[in-house]
Chains A and B, each alone.
Chain A
Amino acid sequence: SYELTQPPSVSVSPGQTCSITCSGDKLGERYAAWYQQKPGQSPVVVIYQGHKRPSGIPERFSGSNSGNTATLTISGTQAMDEADYYCQAWDSSNVVFGGGTKLTVL
């Protein structure tokens, strides 16, 4: 079965740029999405189709997807960005999520 691999945790200082990766076989040939989830809340999509940003999502969130890796980049990270982040893609007719990355802003 298809798997997506994320680092369990990433740390960043406020105002700095952070990147969260998601690895999967030929992931660049699929549409990847990224979700932000804060404690006790439902996930929110921050990037879809690899690089598109939904309305209402700050411009500091960007995405890329090439080869075997999709990357979520947060520029000028703010304290409010501290959350869990999940990547997601399709494998045939099934949906696959990465294991999630806890972003700590300190």
Chain B
Amino acid sequence: QVQLLQSGAEVKKPGASVKVSCKASGYTFTSYHMHWVRQAPGQGLEWMGIINPNDGGTGYAQKFKGRVTMTRDTSTSTGYMELRSLRSEDTAVYYCARVEWQSFHIWGQGTLVTVSS
């Protein structure tokens, strides 16, 4: 079945970087854009950006430009999201998601990133 499987929880210190992976299965990886969405504890959903797995083209929310990089590896059907210069406010669950008909129909299970000294 169609599935997005994310990497495990991370604990990072302020100023560090984190790279979360999202492995796609059950469909042609290059046929659907992959998005990243995060959710801070007790808060709502926040869109971070998009990557086109076919050509690697990206688009980032203004808030994250300069601090986030989304990449992909078509040989393993895996997308990656790297966030740099982490601060405590970046503590959140990070989701990858696949878009169809302008909405998110497939979500990963989420990756908790904790930023703490």
A88 touches B110 (CB 8 A): no
Q: Which of A1-60 contact B (CB under 8 A)?
A: 1, 31, 33, 35, 37, 42-45, 48-49, 52, 54
What is the predominant secondary structure among interface residues of chain B facing chain A? strand
Q: Closest CB-CB distance, B8 to chain A, in whole Å?
A: 15
- A95-B47, A97-B47, A98-B44 known; A31 and B102 CB under 8 Å? yes
Q: Is A94 within 8 A of B61, CB to CB?
A: yes
A92–B94 Cα distance when bound, in Å, is 23
Contacts of B104 in A (CB 8 A): 33, 35, 43, 45, 88
Interface of A is mostly: strand
Task: Give Cα A83 to B37, complex, Å.
Answer: 19
CB-nearest residue of chain B relative to A92? B59
**A86 touching B44 by the CB < 8 A rule?**
yes
**A52 vs B100: C-alpha distance in the bound complex, in angstroms?**
12
A94 to B95, CA, bound (A): 16
Give the number of residue pairs across the A-B interface with Cβ within 8 Å. Answer: 58
Interface string of B39-59 (1 = CB under 8 A from A): 000001111001000000001
Residues facing B in A88-106 (CB within 8 A) are: 88, 90, 93-100
Cβ distance B93 to chain A, nearest Cβ, rounded Å? 9
Bound: A45/B104 CA distance, A? 7
The yes or no answer to B107 lying at the interface (CB within 8 A) is yes
- Interface code A70-85, partner B: CB below 8 Å = 1, 0 otherwise? 0000000000000000
Interface contact A96-B44, CB-CB below 8 Å: no
- CA separation between A96 and B108, bound complex, in Å? 19
Evaluate contact between A43 and B101: CB separation under 8 angstroms.
no
Q: Which residues of chain B are near A49, meaning CB under 8 Å?
A: 101-103
Taking a contact as CB atoms under 8 Å apart, the answer to whether B47 and A86 are in contact is no
Q: Which residues of A contact B (CB under 8 A)?
A: 1, 31, 33, 35, 37, 42-45, 48-49, 52, 54, 86, 88, 90, 93-100
B interface list, Cβ under 8 A from A: 35, 37, 44-47, 50, 59, 61-62, 95, 100-105, 107-110
